[in-house]
Chains A and B, each alone.
Chain A
Amino acid sequence: MGLIVALSLLLAIILFVLLAPLASPYACDEIDFDGPWSSAPTLAHQHWFGTDSLGRDLFVRTACGGRLSLLVGVVSTLVSLLIGVAYGACAGYAGGRVDTLMMRAVDVLYALPFMFLVIVLMVLFGRHLLLLFVAIGAVNWLDMARVVRGQTLVLRRREFIAAARIGGLSDARIIVRHIVPNLVDIVVVYAALTLPQVILIESFLSFLGLGAASTSWGALVDDGAREMMATPWSLLFPALFLGATLLLLNLVAEQLRLRLARGAGTT
């Protein structure tokens, strides 16, 4: 029940983010020279969420920011999922010394102050969107690798893996064809947990002015926070969307996790 409600609200946000710019006459970075600057939400010039201090329409900007935030979230989650599953499954399946070595490497990476790492990357290589994907994804795979590795250790001892080995399949094939499909449930849950985390990281970086050089919810919240005394709506709308999205994503992930735990309990 909770899952359905959360999912439909999320869907509503996604639809808003995708379709809102089509409904409004303004574009993302377009300045409305005719309309009032720093205007409160008004129907007069179709500025439903008001305008910022440069006269840009906040309704459209909130949607545009959402597009980027969600895109970063999904792509970075996929990056971390890809690396994490591959690394974790290999380590878990290999076992023994290889496993120990690979997981100690993960421990070492954990010890790095990762936010600092991302900031250094962004400063060194510029604020490219692509780099942002890679940087966040490359840092977030550590958790995924640990979870996957733990699950693979369990799977490796299962008889059907012995059966696959006895069928003369190569290790690579066993990992790809027999281990990974069995990881789907746990990976889906973990990806759902990673998604809001990644969006939050991106927003945080943007808030610090270190995100990609383009509009995201984090950047909008940053803009809004500067002028929150004069134009509170410029903070309110992006913050509301960001907060709601994070909350809903976490709710969904939690529900999925519970369902998985319950499923594991019954079988």
Chain B
Amino acid sequence: MSLLVVDRLSITVPGVSLPLVDALSFALDAGGSLAIVGESGSGKSLAMQALLGLQAPELRVQGSARFNGRELVGVGEATLNAVRGAQIGFVFQDASLSLNPFLPVGLQIAESLQVHRGASRAAAWQEAQRLLDAVRVARPGQRLAQYPHELSGGMRQRVMFAAALACRPQLLIADEPTTALDATVQRQLVDLLRDLRRDFALSLLLITHDLGLVGELCEQTLVLYAGRQMEVGASASLLRAPQHPYTQALLRARPSLTDDVDTPLPAIPGALQRAQLDGRRCRFIGRCTQAMAECDGAEPAWRVAERSALRCHRHTSSGKTTSGE
């Protein structure tokens, strides 16, 4: 049974023909986990925010996203508010920006309990303390009364997790939850996130460009480029044997422990420039090392192949290509 079914979700700027997010489709099973990867500007965060009605008001969102069978796209604020915070938790990248600097953290965790569960103030604060304990904040009782600036970066991010999980949501959307932290704290938070998934029976949608996290936290991976999904597959096989040239390039651009430190990382040439994109050919064409004549002629269709589903002419033309292995 699918918890979240996103079907051809498109986000367009009125007057601009090429959508920012173009017909994004995926399904997430209850208890499952999906990572959405892609470089900056690929539309990962935007798509997730649009799921919850948080996109800028001038953008147009089309398509459908059903959460537990309930439509989320195009419904009113009241309907969304019943889902947001209560059934779907959201963690932003930088907790120092997403916590209100003028309110004690306890209040910010307890608030959604009071709103969604009708909990009394005292009960909500008690629960907030338990939640802080669950995200492994030391001396949680003391922390509740503190303001965000009094906490360390890692602790603030834990507070964000506590706030997002307050109402025991079924789904947690984490938008680069560890990017703003240093490596050791990152490690702790990844462990915490994995444990929280188990303890809270959470489904996880992880937006990231840290491919190391993907393998650890998510069973499924979706690769997004310029608003178009390029490849979807099980994380294990996708990371080991990427099919799409873009996924391959992304994986090559990771630093390796065994390579000589002086070897420059193989970066993907060029940059994602929306102005040069064209809906009539492959979005990745200008930067692809394996581009062919067909790539310029038409955008490849979405095709379910053996190892993963992907959008590439190389794989539609020759059937079972296994490049990258």
Contacts and interface: CB of A to CB of B under 8 A. Distances in A.
**A, B from the same assembly:** yes
Interface of A: 95-96, 158-160, 162-171, 173, 177-178, 181-182, 184
Contact of B103 (A162, A169, A171, A177): A177
B52 interface: yes
B188 interface: no
Contacts of B86: 168
A159 B52 CA distance: 15
B81 interface: yes
B161 to A, nearest CB: 12
B102 A182 contact: yes
A181 B148 CA distance: 14
Interface stretch (B11-19, B90-98, B120-128, B261-269): B90-98
Nearest to A167: B85
Contact of A167 (B94, B97, B101, B111): B111
Nearest to B116: A168
Interface of B: 49, 52, 54, 57, 77, 80-86, 90, 92, 94, 97-103, 111-112, 115-116, 160, 163-164
Most chain A CB neighbours (cut-off 10 Å) among B54, B81, B94, B112: B81
A167 B84 contact: yes
B100 A160 contact: yes
Contacts of B77: 170-171
A160 to B, nearest CB: 5
Interface residue SS majority, chain A: helix
A170 B79 CA distance: 11
Contacts of A168: 80-86, 112, 115-116
Given A168-B83, A168-B86, A159 B97 contact: yes
A166 B80 CA distance: 9
A166 B100 contact: no
Contacts of A95: 57
A175 to B, nearest CB: 13
A157 B80 CA distance: 19
A173 B115 contact: yes
A159 B81 contact: no
Given A96-B57, A158-B97, A184-B102, A169 B85 contact: yes
Instruction: Among B102, B116, B164, find the residue whose CB has the most chain A CB atoms closer than 10 A.
Output: B102
Contacts of B160: 163
Contacts of B80: 168
Contacts of A171: 77
A177 B112 CA distance: 12
Contact of A181 (B83, B102, B112): B102
A167 B103 contact: no
B99 A163 contact: yes
Contacts of A159: 92, 94, 97-98
A266 to B, nearest CB: 13
Contacts of B94: 159
Nearest to A95: B57
A178 B85 CA distance: 16
A91 B82 CA distance: 25
Nearest to B78: A170
Contacts of B49: 162
Nearest to B112: A167
Contact of B111 (A96, A177, A182): A177
Given A163-B90, A169-B111, A169-B115, A178 B54 contact: no
B97 A166 contact: no
16 contacts: A95-B57, A96-B57, A160-B98, A162-B54, A163-B100, A164-B100, A165-B84, A166-B84, A166-B85, A167-B112, A167-B163, A168-B83, A168-B116, A169-B85, A178-B100, A182-B101
B4 to A, nearest CB: 15
A239 B44 CA distance: 67
A164 B86 CA distance: 12
A74 to B, nearest CB: 25
B103 A166 contact: no
For the complex of A and B, list the 5 residue pairs with the smallest distance between their C-beta atoms, beginning with the closest. Answer: A168-B85, A168-B84, A167-B85, A159-B97, A163-B98
B52 A166 contact: yes
Given A165-B84, A169-B81, A160 B112 contact: no
Contacts of A162: 49, 54, 92, 98
A78 B81 CA distance: 34
B39 to A, nearest CB: 21
A173 B112 CA distance: 11
Contacts of A96: 57
